[in-house]
Every structure is written in C-alpha cells, then in structure tokens.
Amino acid sequence: MAADIIDGKAFAAGLRETVGVHAAAFAERAGRKAGLAVVLVGEDPASQVYVRSKHRATVEAGMESFEHRLPADTAEAALLALVERLNADPAVDGILVQLPLPGHLDEQAVIAAISPDKDVDGFHVTNAGRLAVGQDGFVPCTPLGCMMLLSDRLGDLSGLEAVVIGRSNIVGKPMAQLLLGANATVTIAHSRTKDLPGVVRRADIVVAAVGRAEMVKADWLKPGATVIDVGINRLPPVPGSDKGRLVGDVDFAGARDVAGAITPVPGGVGPMTIAVLLRNTLVAAYRNEGLDLPEGAL
C-alpha cells in the first residue's frame, strides 16, 4: 500500500487563514497592523522571487509589508544602520534579511544585529539558545513547519525514534531540538555518519535535510515510517526541456512504497516556510504590544 501524502500546501493554507483571522484581531486591539520588514541586498533572482512571495503573503494575511531593496555594493555599515532603525521602529514587529548576502557582507554580523525579539527567522544566537534550553523564542520557519506537519500526522511523538539527516543551523539542529522537546529519541546524522542507511532504518520519523537529490532510498526506510523531505533540488533537464524537475532529498517514487506517510516535493515542506514566517511575525506583534496570544491558536 502506498504511503499517505502529507499535504503541506493544504496545511499551510489553513495556517495562513488562521494567521489572517488573528492578524485582524490584533489590528483591532493594537490600533495598527502587525508589520514585517524584509531587506533584500542585490539582485539574486531566487531571492527576488522569495521576497515577492513573502510580500504578497504578508499583505494577504492583513499585515504590513515593509520592503527595503538595497544595491549589491551596499556597505556593511549601511546595512547594519538600517537594521538598527528597524529594531527601533515600533511599526516593525519582524525583521527578515534575505540570505544569501553578497560576499563582502558578514551574514553572522547582520543576523546578530537584529533584535532577538524581532528575529522572526529564528537565526539569532539568542533564539537558538532559547530553543536549546526550552525557553520561548523564535524557531526557524522550516523546522517549525516540519514539526507542525509531524504533530498533525502523528499526534504525540513521545518515545518515537527520529533521525534528522543534516546538521545545519537553519534546519538540522533546530529540528532535532524540537523533536527532543516533544520527547522523541533523536539522532542527528550527516555525511560522516557510519552506516547511514542502517541508522535511518531504525527511525519512526525521518527528516531529510541534506541537500542531495534523492539520496535517501526506499531500502533505507523502516516500513511505515513518517518521512519529511526538506530538500529542494533541481535535476538536469532532459532532452527537449529547458528545466529539470524538482526533487527532494528522498527517492519519492521508491520511498512511497515503504513509508507510512511522506511529504512530496514540491508541495510538502516548502509552502509551510512562508506560512510559519507569517505566524512568527504575528506572535512577535502580540509580544511587542504586551498582548496575550490567542490561546492555542498559534
């Protein structure tokens, strides 16, 4: 029997609708809309697409979108000065500096300059520390979206064995922390893990976030496992086509015959990232105004 498909697109649409309802309630209580500032330096084509998508989604959710587009040769001091102005602006609840930045800019210095309470990407070391010790903070959008999908699918994760393939600060490490917080037994695997297929085969939950096309094969999986595929990889185009197809880090066609449930690529984890960004921005707005969050809603 083929695995159930975890429909991230539908879940994300529901989350965005919920955010919209509570964004309207926030505006009524606070006398202003929640605000997200997005900073784009340079003209990277993929980044431009992401920024447009974030702007559109923010406005559709009933929040203010503040875009700051800077030339690629912007000096680091000028970028840091803009971040400081946004930190001080009461209309701005969340700040997102679109990565990657041009090579002459220090990404870590820029992230460190963002107020942790406006760091809706969850990349600031303070928010990483809050997550590690179980305090409230902002969690990177992709792993939090994955966690929402897992909780919706499986309910209580206590005692389940989870393997996270990938150890990045953006996905792998925070994903492991979230799973630990849900009382799963967690292994972080990576390129130097001995017998990686054997390690993955133990897992009730597999989160693949390694950035290698279709690396995780069907025979790596425990029958009935829940598979969350974070990877987005474009294969070389076939003859007669100008674009290669998008695939994840998991061999979807094979894995679907073994897994109990699996996210597709595209249409799985991807739509969750922007939906969670909106959620994080609204949470920041409530906190910045000293208002209680809607119970259980976000």
- pLDDT tens digits along 15-52: 999 999 999 999 999 999 999 999 999 998 889 999 99
Cβ atoms of 149 and 11 within 8 Å: the answer is yes
pLDDT of the residue at 296: 66
Q: Is the pLDDT of residue 265 over 90?
A: yes
pLDDT tens figures, 147-159? 999 999 999 999 9
- Band (pLDDT 50/70/90 cuts) for residue 73 is very high
- Please compute the mean of the pLDDT values over residues 211-235 and round it to a whole number: 96
- Domains annotated for the chain, with CATH where assigned, are 30-116 (3.40.50.10860), 141-271 (3.40.50.720)
- Band (pLDDT 50/70/90 cuts) for residue 82 is very high
Share of the chain above pLDDT 90, in %: 91
**pTM assigned to the model:** 0.95
Residue 232 CA to its chain's centroid (Å): 13
pLDDT of the residue at 297: 64
pLDDT of the residue at 236: 87
Q: Which residue has the higher pLDDT, 191 or 81?
A: 81
Please list the active-site residues: 54, 98, 121
pLDDT tens figures, 157-205? 999 999 999 999 999 999 999 999 999 999 999 989 999 999 999 999 9
For the four alpha carbons of 223, 224, 225 and 230, in that order, the dihedral sign comes to: positive
- The DSSP letter of residue 250 is B
pLDDT of the residue at 241: 73
Write the DSSP assignment of 65-133 as a string of letters. EEEEEE-TT--HHHHHHHHHHHHH-TT--EEEE-SSPPTTS-HHHHHHHS-GGG-TT--SHHHHHHHHH
